[in-house]
Amino acid sequence: MKTPFVTLEQLQEIVKQYPTPFHLYDERGIRENARALRQAFAWNPGFREHFAVKATPNPQILKLLREEGCGVDCSSLTELMMSERCGFAGEEIMFSSNDTPAEEFALAAKLGATINLDDITHIDFLRDTIGTIPKKISCRYNPGGTFTLGESKEGFQVMDNPGDAKYGMTRPQMTEAFRRLRELGAEQFGIHAFLASNTISNEYYPALASILFQVAAELKEETGCHITFINLSGGVGVPYHPDQPANDIAVIGDGVRRAYEEILVPAGMGDVAIHTELGRFMLAPYGHLITRVLHEKHIHKEYIGVDACAANLMRPAIYGAYHHITVMGKEGAPCDHKYDITGSLCENCDKFAVDRMLPEIQIGDLLVIHDTGAHGHAMGYQYNGRLRSAEVLLCEDGSTRLIRRAETPEDYFATAIWD
């Protein structure tokens, strides 16, 4: 059973101020979850979460997470620019990109961000771009082969098997890269890997940590490099479906601690800091897409047309991802009607749900589409001239705050050349 973080009464007030559709975020949930993560890794003095900006690139969300002790993980120029404007600086910023343009390395270096190199050839590319190799540097590792641990079907679509994924360096390249970076003046080294997306398993991080800790101990032996941090990256998932169990971050943190004590401490590496780059886990459950029912249609199937569409939330259309839907005010009613819930794009994949059993829906009903706080608004686009919606923060005191206005036709036309 999934319960919205707003009541119908609250929502009826909120929609008077902000027309549907819009994304609503729960400040309390975001803060409590960020604190639980910090608590789970409190055993590691250097621990820091670098929120993956791409999941929810909203300045007010970033500032809120910064108050909770988070840094950021950026992978593009504009993410770096946004993070700088939100007050992030130096080691608070992790720059984990791939196929990186020179200007992005230049800005990352200027901000003092920790750069995570996706490929061995980027060593010379970085040096040619900024004229030096930073004292602190990280390399992204790809062990190849397959990796299956609690990954969802769509998680697999996001990441693929390591052996088929475009990211990172091979194991021999890691050794070579560390040696070369050291020759070029690097003093502090980090290791990063991202092997599976949206894992619903308390074992993913501990299993990944064991692999990376082992590699770290080997690299220390082989190269003599001083490894100061290990970045477990993203991939801890959330239960989109009400039948899925939630990950327990305290259990996950404890599992990583055990691997740390088994592998790193005996290797004389008990000072290594753990970093994470979670996006989905930090935000997904604390966002709702709020939409209103516009039409019902009875043809070969029963359709409910809403005022949001895939331009507001792309995941169901591109991954067939499940997002739970609550018909507000009908939480107790029997789910005895089978519907496709659609948006208005001229694309048949524009469906938030297919053959979903729900209570009987009336025109004008408000729907909450759950777990849209990460990779929701962020993946929005303007296809069919549909514009990106507003983002609203439900504050801890119950008030609301507009944290991004809806796009207007003027925004959409602004880049066109008319004459």
Which chain residues interact with ligand PLP by CB under 6 A? 52, 54-55, 73, 75, 96, 194, 197-198, 233-235, 277-281, 374
Contact between 52 and 76 (Cβ < 8 Å) = no
Q: Give me the least distance between CB of 36 and ligand PLP, in Å please.
A: 15
Secondary element (H or E) of residue 337: strand 337-342
The CB-of-284 to ligand PLP minimum distance in angstroms stands at: 8
Give per-residue burial for 278-313: e unless 16+ CB within 10 Å, then b: bbbbbbbbbbbbbbbbeeeeeeeeeebbbbbbbbbb
Residue nearest to ligand PLP (CB): 234
Residue with smaller CB distance to ligand PLP, 57 or 359: 57
- The token pair at 96 is 């984990």
**Alpha carbon 220 to chain centroid, angstroms:** 31
If the CB atoms of residues 91 and 302 are measured against ligand PLP, the closer one turns out to be 91
Helices (H), 164-293: 171-183, 204-223, 249-259, 280-283
How is the chain split among helix, strand and coil, in percent rounded to 5?
A: 35, 20, 40
Task: Assess contact for 160 and 138: CB atoms under 8 A.
Answer: no
Residue closer to ligand PLP, measured from CB, 223 or 247: 247
Residue 73 CB, nearest distance to ligand PLP (Å)?
Answer: 5
Give min distance, CB of 50 to ligand PLP, in A: 8
Looking at the Cβ atoms of 168 and 359, the one nearer to ligand PLP is: 168
**Which secondary structure element, helix H or strand E, spans residue 9, and what is its range?**
helix 8-17
Paired with 305 in beta bridges are: 295, 342
Instruction: Quote the least distance from Cβ 119 to ligand PLP, whole Å.
Output: 14
Q: How far is the CB of 115 from ligand PLP (least distance, A)?
A: 12
Bridge partners (DSSP) of residue 22 are 290, 390
Of the two residues 315 and 386, which places its CB atom closer to ligand PLP in the complex?
A: 315
Measured in residues, the chain has a length of 419
The residue among 152 and 291 lying less far from ligand PLP, judged by its C-beta, is: 152
Tell the smallest beta-carbon distance from residue 71 to ligand PLP (Å): 12
Quick check: 205 and 232 in contact, CB under 8 A?
yes
Of the two residues 55 and 274, which places its CB atom closer to ligand PLP in the complex? 55
- CA 328-330-336 angle, to 5 degrees, is 125
CB of 212 to ligand PLP, least distance (A): 14
CB of 132 to ligand PLP, least distance (A): 24
DSSP letter, residue 262: I
Yes or no: say if 386 and 380 are a contact pair by the CB < 8 Å rule: no
Q: Minimum Å distance from CB 176 to ligand PLP? A: 22
| Cα separation values, 119 from 14, 103, 144, 233, 379, Å | 48, 17, 14, 16, 26
Q: Which is nearer to ligand PLP, 10 or 157 (CB)?
A: 157
* Closer residue to ligand PLP in complex, CB, 287/359: 287
CB of 303 to ligand PLP, least distance (A): 31
Q: Taking the alpha carbons of 363, 367, 369, 373 in that order, is the dihedral positive or negative?
A: positive
Copy the structure tokens of residue 50. Answer: 């670098």
Q: Per residue, what are the HEC states of 347-371?
A: CCCCEEEEEEEECCCCCCCEEEECC
Nearer to ligand PLP, 142 or 233 (CB): 233
Residue with Cβ nearer ligand PLP (25 or 281):
281
